[in-house]
Amino acid sequence: MKHYTRAVAGLALLASGVAAGTPALADGEVNIYSYRQPFLIQPLLDAFTKETGIKTNVVFSDKGLGERIAAEGENSPADVMLTVDIGRLDGAKQLGITAPISSDVVSANIPAEFRDPEGNWIGLTSRARIIYASKERVEQDTITYEELADPKWRGRICTRSGQHDYTLGLIASMIAHHGEEKAEEWLAAVRDNLARKPTGNDRAQVKSIFAGECDISIGNTYYMGAMETNEKEPEQKDWAASVKILFPNSDDRGSHVNLSGVVMAKNAPNRDNAVKLIEFLTSHDAQAIYAETNFEYPVTPGVTVSERVASWGTLKPDTLPLADVANYRKAASEMVDRVGFDEGPAS
């Protein structure tokens, strides 16, 4: 009981923005810092506890968790951090807060392109950066990222900020494939094709298509599922019904994919339980839960996507290692500023 109280106390201190002064030393539990919203991961954690008997303690925040772990140092109660986007996964590695994950189970479950070569992060699910296209105003059913620079799309593209993690990942992949010079020419041309300054999130872009403000937008696949099943805001079902998904570059290298993933904290007090959790999250059963509840793509081979996700079409993922994409994120961010992407088409 003493150990349990110490763990919860550390988590409570973190949640209030105060660094924990005592590590969580307890058998039978694992402490999770999560960028992923609790309702997205709770079914997985419930299944993990049912299978192992290990209790999960979760702190959620949409920013700053990696920096908090760094600030807490050896006293951090964090065992693992769950996050989205290769930028945050690689960022945790660069902060020096990760420990290599050594597990034959994980290596067998997760293909190499979805793992850090040094084991500092593990991908758990993938999501494709695709094109939402108006069913009424866009006849074509295929597209490439390169085609977004075609003048025929002038004034017809909506997207979120170029500095958002998801956009930076796509731009970084273009740099990896084409080199900086050609990627910058492409980005400037896409900027000139925008209908307005980048603003809002991925769902807001689909709303703009529904409203006739643009004809195509760039977004992540799972937002389609989130809109199609949104009972609290049923108008989003209408937004979703107005668009179709185009998977870019399906006839050549494949569509850019990004990850949700996990890192093990450098000073994890419950290291063995952390490894057990990570192994579970890469298992067939856990990946099936991810696929069904979060509208994401499993990264463990042999796990099928949900019927809803399958209905959107076939994803051919780009096999470019995400570690390579991460190497170009800084260059991508600088490029966004250099071409004035977030200033819109008049810049």
Architecture of 127-255+313-343 per CATH?
Answer: 3-Layer(aba) Sandwich (3.40)
Torsions phi, psi for 127 (to 5 deg): -140, 140
Residues listed for the chain: 347
Of 44, 86, 142, 135, which Cα lies nearest the Cα of 262? 86
Question: Could you tell me which residues are beta bridge partners of residue 259?
Answer: 126
Torsions phi, psi for 344 (to 5 deg): 90, -175
The confidence score (pLDDT) of residue 322 equals 85
Is 205:213 a contact under the CB 8 Å cutoff? no
C-alpha 49/C-alpha 51 separation (Å) is: 5
Torsions phi, psi for 199 (to 5 deg): -160, 155
Mean predicted lDDT score pLDDT of the chain:
91
Q: Which helix (H) or strand (E) holds 13?
A: helix 2-15
Q: What pLDDT digit, counting tens, does each position of 95-149 carry? A: 999 999 999 999 999 998 889 999 999 999 999 999 999 999 999 999 999 999 9
C-alpha 234/C-alpha 223 separation (Å) is: 14
Identical fold for domains 2-125+258-310 and 127-255+313-343, yes or no, is: yes
- Tokens representing 141 are 């059913």
Strands (DSSP E) contained in the chain are 29-34, 55-60, 80-84, 98-99, 122-134, 157-158, 216-220, 243-246, 257-265, 297-298
> Which CATH number is 2-125+258-310's, of 1.20.58.1180, 3.40.190.10, 3.30.1010.10, 3.30.450.20?
3.40.190.10
Strands (DSSP E) contained in 142-194 are 157-158
C-alpha 265/C-alpha 69 separation (Å) is: 8
C-alpha 10/C-alpha 75 separation (Å) is: 9
- Tokens representing 298 are 């499993």
Between the two ends of the chain, the Cα-to-Cα distance in Å is 61
- Tokens representing 134 are 């108006």
Rounded to 10 degrees, what is the CA torsion of 71, 72, 78, 84?
A: -10
C-alpha 299/C-alpha 287 separation (Å) is: 8
Residue keyed to tokens 């071409």: 339
C-alpha 293/C-alpha 303 separation (Å) is: 14
Helices (H) and strands (E) in the chain, counts: 15, 10
Write the CB contacts of 178 (distance below 8 Å, at least 6 apart in sequence). Answer: 186
Encode the chain (347 residues) as per-residue pLDDT tens digits. Answer: 333 333 334 444 444 333 333 344 445 999 999 998 888 899 999 999 999 999 999 999 988 999 999 999 999 999 999 998 888 899 999 999 999 999 999 999 999 888 999 999 999 999 999 999 999 999 999 999 999 999 999 999 999 999 999 999 999 999 999 999 999 999 999 999 999 999 999 999 999 999 999 999 999 999 999 999 999 999 999 999 999 999 999 999 999 999 999 999 999 999 999 999 999 999 999 999 988 888 999 999 999 999 999 999 999 999 888 888 989 999 999 999 999 999 999 76
Is 338:184 a contact under the CB 8 Å cutoff? yes
C-alpha 239/C-alpha 219 separation (Å) is: 13
> Sign of the CA dihedral 50, 51, 52, 56?
negative
Is 30:80 a contact under the CB 8 Å cutoff? yes
Give me the residue spans of the domains in the chain: 2-125+258-310, 127-255+313-343
